[in-house]
Amino acid sequence: MNYTAIQRFMKMANYRLQKNMTRTNSLTSSNKYFTFAFLIASVVSHAQLSLAEYKKAWPDFNEIILEESLVYDFSIKDKKLKVIQDNHYESMILSENGILNNEESFTYSELVKLKSYDAYSVVSNNGKEKKIKVTQSNEKLARDNSVFYNDVKERQLIFPNLETGARKVYDYQTEFLDPFLLQKFIFGNSLPIKNSTLEIHTEKDINIGYKIFNDPNNSIAFTKSEKKGKWVYKWTLTDIKPLKFESNSPGYLYVVPHIDVYIKDYTVDKTSIPVLDDIPKLFNYYKGFVKNLNKTENSELKAITTNLTFGMASNKDKMKAIFYWVKDNIKYIAFENGYEGFIPREAGLVCERKFGDCKDMASIITAMAHYAGVNDVSVSWIGTRSIPYSYEELSTPAVDNHMIAVFKDGGEYVFLDGTDKETRYGIPTAFIQGKEALYNDGETYKIIPVPVVPAEMNEIHEELALKIDNNKLTGTGKVEYQGFSRSSVLSQMGDAVNKTRFDMVKSLVLKGNNKFSLIDYKENNVKDRDQPYRIDFNFNLDNYIIKMGREMYVNMYLDKAFEKLTIEKDRIAKYEFDFLMYTNSAYKLEIPANYSVKSLPPAFSMDNDYFKADFSHEVRDNNVALTIKLKQKKILLDNTDFEKWNESIRKLKSAYNETIILQEK
């Protein structure tokens, strides 16, 4: 994914959760996936249990979080908002393996300043508790594979003298320099949690708002009280079951209970000062980051644009040329450093450097559009599919994590995301399908829905000519990939060459079983994004034909799309696909000499909420022709879809198992 600094603040809020998910995966599961769902128990007593009771309750876990809390304090100092955050964490070691996890960490940055911290182990000493201070600690830059550089710092803590029953405790305080960038609070972890609490202490001249997500049974207990002239808001959830890893989940924010808190406004000298509460206020905040963007003309970039678009009459042709030039000449590298993570860099600087992040890509595309005389091209904010909110549901910076350019071409909007090298002009990148773009229309804005690209635009079209040689199939074929099928395949292949590329192509065109042998292949349209990526190939498939007496059995379904995609009965998270697929295949098998067709499988059709399928065999001249048309209809499956989806897969499997029977004359 391609992140802006807004996503960085989300990461900071969720850092411990993500770190523990990785750790628990290595201790309790061999599942390689990083997405997950969760289960939550009902609220019960807060009473502290003994080590034996915790071990009995959670026998498969090496550690339990006893207390995880966050306290915000909002005040007005020198007529400005002051935001202090206090964090507390306490866990207990439940097993010998748990002792190995003697490290914890937390994060901060240039905009979330660390003010103080304290950490210690609590161990038993002759029946009494003893605190042992953490002395081994170091600061380093937090690593993120999706970001080349960021300013997020990680404070590592090494806890001494751990033993079964020992506790790890740490506290730290930070100050938020920008009140627009408060972090969400998540009631969940890969470890069990005994007690999880969010508190807000605020002066009465400060109005706050909050949104609770994924708490359908109102399990989070809430109180509001007054203490020392301040309002105190408190949310608590107890006895939280651990999060569970599940593949193809759209993201933990779709399932884990969490709260987004924001400041609506505050009063100074009887004047109300707005902060966040609706889309206009959010847009006004964002607008400050782009209001002075590309005001100075850059002669080099203007000359490049003029030469690139010379002789082009239509704005569409100009924008396509600009879009592809940026993809080919500006390398995507994510940078997040203070407000640089929010403010797009000048297009001239991006051109000079030949690299930039998503904001920089949007900046240079819009600047080049201006030089080409194309109006109605503007930077726009957008959230990727990992974020579940709409702008109406949550009008804070937590709603998006990405920036693109948008071209208003008459009554149509074209989404121009330069971060994905392979996606063609005219369709959005796969990871923003179904989302909303906040389009910067000068002094105002528009909310533009991003469509889900229809399956037909992502067609995989394949043609095979097959012959039988004893018990072996030989064949020639061609396969074409369009839309996201094309960009997905070529993104994975990258610049691979020689045997590595041969093996990649083989995995794409593999037929039947592991006896498949790719003889040779030729690629077409690798660089032309507007054309399908095509592979022409020749192959053998040994030990595939079954002979019994005078009869020969052949299963012509050499590819069985979705065959293995049955969803587990106990799955909790929704199931997400990267994009919708359409398979359109035509296979032709030459009937061997001295053989005739004894029987063909019946035609198969299915049309429901998930698939439209039409499979048919027929004899044409001296060939058996198989036509396969399979269109996927739903990009995100809800839990209520799972049983019906699995039933659809069972029907597909049944059709795939049908064979033709040839009989010797």
**What does the pLDDT average to over 14-38?**
37
**DSSP assignment letter at 52:** H
What pLDDT was estimated at residue 585? 98
Q: Which of 70-79, 143-152, 462-471 has the lowest mean pLDDT?
A: 143-152
pLDDT at 300 over 80: yes
Q: Which of 26-35, 106-115, 272-281, 624-633 has the lowest mean pLDDT?
A: 26-35
Q: Are residues 103 and 138 in the same domain?
A: yes
CATH for 297: 3.10.620.30
Half-sphere exposure (CA, 13 Å, Cβ side) for 132? 17
* pTM, 2 dp: 0.88
Q: Which of 56-70, 141-155, 560-574, 644-658 has the lowest mean pLDDT?
A: 141-155
87, part of any domain: yes
CA dist., res. 574 & res. 642, Å (int): 9
Q: What is the DSSP string of 262-317?
A: EEEEEEETTEEEE-SSSHHHHHHHHHHHHTTTT-S--HHHHHHHHHHTTT--SHHH
**What does the pLDDT average to over 25-39?**
31
CA dist., res. 632 & res. 356, Å (int): 36
Q: What confidence tens digit (pLDDT) does each residue in 370-410 have? A: 999 999 999 999 999 999 999 999 999 999 999 999 999 99
pLDDT at 338 over 60: no
Banded model confidence at residue 341, pLDDT cuts 50, 70, 90: low
**Domain termination site, one of 400, 433, 449:** 449
SS (H, E, C) 167-195: EEEEEEEEEECCCCCCCCEECCCCCCEEE
**What does the pLDDT average to over 652-660?**
97
Q: Is 597 helix (H, G, I), strand (E, B) or coil?
A: strand
Q: Are residues 345 and 476 in the same domain?
A: no
Q: Which of 9-13, 127-131, 290-294, 508-512 has the lowest mean pLDDT?
A: 9-13
Tokens of 70: 């966050």
Q: Are residues 51 and 170 in the same domain?
A: yes
Q: Are residues 332 and 370 in the same domain?
A: yes
Q: Are residues 182 and 299 in the same domain?
A: no
Report the number of distinct structural domains present in the chain: 3
160, part of any domain: yes
What pLDDT was estimated at residue 144? 55
CA dist., res. 473 & res. 596, Å (int): 17
Per-chain mean pLDDT for the chain: 90
Selection from 350, 352, 379, 367 nearest residue 305 by Cα: 367
Q: Are residues 486 and 560 in the same domain?
A: yes
**What does the pLDDT average to over 484-501?**
95
553, part of any domain: yes
Looking at the DSSP assignment, which residues form a beta bridge with residue 209? 262
Q: Are residues 286 and 361 in the same domain?
A: yes
Q: Is 234 left (phi over 0), alpha (psi -120 to 50) or beta?
A: beta
Q: Which domain holds residue 541?
A: 455-664
Q: Which helix (H) or strand (E) holds 359?
A: helix 358-371
Banded model confidence at residue 470, pLDDT cuts 50, 70, 90: confident
Please tell me which residue, 199 or 338, carries the higher pLDDT value: 199
What pLDDT was estimated at residue 334? 77
CATH for 151: 2.60.40.3140
Q: What confidence tens digit (pLDDT) does each residue in 503-540 have? A: 999 999 999 988 999 999 999 999 999 999 999 999 99
Start-to-end CA distance of the chain, whole Å, equals 59
Q: What confidence tens digit (pLDDT) does each residue in 421-441 have? A: 999 999 999 999 999 999 999
Q: Which helix (H) or strand (E) holds 20?
A: helix 15-28
What pLDDT was estimated at residue 118? 97
Q: Are residues 308 and 235 in the same domain?
A: no
4, part of any domain: no
CA dist., res. 50 & res. 119, Å (int): 23
What pLDDT was estimated at residue 127? 80
Q: What confidence tens digit (pLDDT) does each residue in 95-147 have? A: 999 999 999 999 999 899 999 999 999 999 888 899 999 999 999 887 654 44
Q: What confidence tens digit (pLDDT) does each residue in 554-571 have? A: 999 999 999 999 999 999
**Domain termination site, one of 449, 481, 514:** 449
Q: Are residues 288 and 149 in the same domain?
A: no
pLDDT at 152 over 90: no
133, part of any domain: yes
CA dist., res. 430 & res. 423, Å (int): 8
CA dist., res. 494 & res. 486, Å (int): 12
Strands 660-664 and 582-590: unpaired
CATH for 491: 2.60.120.1130
Q: Are residues 521 and 589 in the same domain?
A: yes
pLDDT at 236 over 80: yes
pLDDT at 29 over 70: no
Banded model confidence at residue 442, pLDDT cuts 50, 70, 90: confident
**Domain termination site, one of 273, 296, 311:** 273
What pLDDT was estimated at residue 57? 93
591, part of any domain: yes
Looking at this protein, which amino acid is placed at residue 390?
Answer: S
Q: What is the DSSP string of 538-557?
A: EEEETT--EEETTEEEE---
Strands 377-382 and 167-176: unpaired
290, part of any domain: yes
Q: Are residues 433 and 499 in the same domain?
A: no
Q: What confidence tens digit (pLDDT) does each residue in 178-221 have? A: 999 999 999 999 999 999 999 999 999 999 999 999 999 999 99
Q: Are residues 213 and 66 in the same domain?
A: yes
Q: Which helix (H) or strand (E) holds 217?
A: none
2, part of any domain: no
pLDDT at 631 over 60: yes
Q: What is the DSSP string of 334-349?
A: -EE-GGGGTSPPPHHH
